Amino acid sequence: MLFAEVVAASAAVAATRSRTAKSAAIAQLLRASGPGEVEPVAAWLAGEPRQGRLGLGWRTLTKSAHAAAAEPQLSVGAVDAALTELAGTQGAGSVARRDAVLAGLLGAATAEEQRFLIRLLTGELRQGALEGVLLDAVAAAAEVPAPAVRRAAMLAGSVPATAATALTGGAAALAAETLRVGRPVRPMLASPGSSLDAALADLGTGVTVEYKLDGARIQVHRDGDTVRVWTRTLREVTDGVPELVERVRALPCRTAVLDGETLALDDDGRPRAFQDTMSRFGSDGPGSDEDAAVLLSPFLFDVLHLDGRDLLDEPLAVRLDALAGLLAADEHAPLRMPGVRSPTPDEATAVLEAALDAGHEGVVVKALDAPYAAGRRGRAWQKVKPVHTLDLVVVGAEWGYGRRTGSLSNIHLAARDPGGGPPVMVGKTFKGMTDELLAWQTATFPQHAAGEEPWGLTLRPELVVEVAVDGAQRSTRYPGGVALRFARVLRYRPDKTAAEADTVEAVRALLPGG
C-alpha cells in the first residue's frame, strides 16, 4: 500500500464531523492494508508512530524536509521501516545516522506526505480519529463484534496491535487475548462529575467514595519476586521507582496486578507539587540527585489479578474485598487509597472535605457493581473536584491543524501584571472551542493583531477570555514561573478589559500550598 493512501484517508477523517463517516473511511483503509501494514496504519490514524515517541522536534524535521517528491512513491512498509530505524539509532554517530534516515524519508515524500510526517512525529496530528472511532472501524473492517475488539484492546494494551489481531485472526484470535501478569492492561478511566450530589444521584448508594490525588497513575504487576511498574500511558518505569517495587514485593502474594496512584508527600504528609512527582518519571528514571531524593508513596485502589485469579469481570465490591485482604497485613504506611464504602450523603461529603483539606484534588465516586472496563470513560467512575476559573488576556493565536486548518485555534493566555507591566503568559489552550467560536476567533483576532508569525498572530492585550483550569504548576517555560494545568475555554468576556483580568498572583495562588 502506498503511504499516500494513508495520508488521503487521514485528510478525509479530519474533514468530516460524522463519527460514522470517520469510522467508514478508516475501515476501508484497514481492509485494503496487507497483514504487515495494519498495525502501523492503525497507529498513524490514531496520531502516533507504532514505535512511540522518537524525540524529534519540529526544527529538526523541517531542516530535513528539502525538495519534495513530485509523485507518491513511499510504501507503508518503507515508512514504518524508516521509523523503526530511527527508534533504534543510538550511541556514537547516532545524530548523523538519524539525520540521514530522516533526509531519505522526507526526500522521498510528496509535500503533503511531508506535512503529515512532520505532524505525526511532533505529536501534532489531530485528525479526529479518536480511539472509540478507531475501535469501531477495526470491528467493521474485520467483521467482528465491537465489544470483542474493545476487550482485546484493553488486555493487549494496544489498539494498533489489536487491529492487526482482528484483521488477521478474526473473532477467535480476539477471544484468545487474556490478562497476562507482566503485560500491562489499559487503565479504567473516570468521567468528570458535575458535583458530588450529582454523582451520588446518578450511581445510587452502592458506591465507594475515594480520594482523587494529584499524582501519577500506576499499574503494578508482581510475578514472584519480579515487580514491574507502568504509567497511565503504559510506559514502564520500574527502574526509576525502587521504593514502589520494594513495597509491592513485600506483600503476601505470589502474583498480582494492582491499580493505583503515586505521589510525593512532604514531611507533613501533604502532597508536593505535581512536577515533583513527575520528576521521577523521566524517560530514563530520575533526572538528577534532587529528583531521586523525592520519595513516592503508593496508594492502591484496585486489583485486577491475585494469585492466579483474574478479577477484571468481577464487580468492584469483590475486587475491593480482595484488595483489603491483600493489604491487611502491611506493616508500613497504609497502601490503600483513603475512602468510604457505601457512605451516607453526609459521610461522602466528609470524604470530599477531608481530601480537599489534605491538599488533594477531590474524590472519585465508583459503582460497586461495575466490572473493570479499561480504557473507557464510562459513568461507573466519576471524578468530582472543584473547578477554578480565571479571566485571562489573549496575547496570541496559532493556526490549527486537521479539521481546524484555516482557523485560529490554540490561544496564548496571559495574566495581568499587578505592577503595571505587560501581561504575563501562563499557558496555551485549544480546548473547549466550538466551531462557532473558532469562526469568531478567526474573524475577530486579525482586528487585534500586533504582528504576524509563521505559526499565527500575536495580539494586542485587548481580549479577555474566561477559562476553567484544574490548577497551576511551577514552570521555567513562562516568565511568571507558573503555568496553567488543563485550561479550557468557557466564554469570552466582552464586559471586561485587560485591566480587569486576573493577575499572575491569582494564578500562583492555585499552586499546591499556595
Q: Which helix (H) or strand (E) holds 415?
A: strand 408-415
- Closest Cα partner for 174 from 144, 190, 152? 152
User: Which residues have CB under 8 Å from 281's CB, separation 6+?
Assistant: 216, 231, 235, 237, 240
How far is residue 303's CA from residue 434's CA, in Å, rounded to a whole number?
39
What residues pair up with 223 in beta bridges, in sequence order?
Answer: 226, 255
Angle 135-140-143 from CA coordinates, rounded to 5°: 120
φ/ψ bin of 303: left (φ > 0), alpha (ψ from -120 to 50), beta (otherwise): beta
φ/ψ bin of 432: left (φ > 0), alpha (ψ from -120 to 50), beta (otherwise): left
Dihedrals phi, psi of 383, to nearest 5 degrees: -95, 135
DSSP three-state, residue 251: coil
Q: Which helix (H) or strand (E) holds 343?
A: none
User: Which residues have CB under 8 Å from 405's CB, separation 6+?
Assistant: 14, 399
Alpha-helix runs per DSSP H in 358-471? 435-444
SS3 content of the chain, % helix, strand, coil (to 5): 40, 25, 35
How far is residue 234's CA from residue 323's CA, in Å, rounded to a whole number?
22
Q: Is 212 marked active-site? A: yes
- Closest Cα partner for 261 from 311, 313, 297? 297
DSSP conformation class of 444:
H
The C-alpha cell at 480 is: 511568571
How far is residue 361's CA from residue 262's CA, in Å, rounded to a whole number?
14
How far is residue 469's CA from residue 417's CA, in Å, rounded to a whole number?
19
- Closest Cα partner for 316 from 419, 240, 207? 207
Alpha-helix runs per DSSP H in 393-445? 435-444
- Catalytic residue chosen out of the listed positions 212, 366, 383, 385: 212
- Closest Cα partner for 244 from 335, 336, 361, 339? 335
- Closest Cα partner for 405 from 5, 10, 3, 4? 10
- Closest Cα partner for 301 from 217, 243, 182, 203? 217
According to DSSP, the β-strands at 339-341 and 296-306 are: unpaired
How far is residue 409's CA from residue 431's CA, in Å, rounded to a whole number?
9
By CB atoms closer than 10 A (0-12, 13-18, 19+), residue 44 is: buried
Instruction: Name the residues annotated as catalytic.
Output: 212
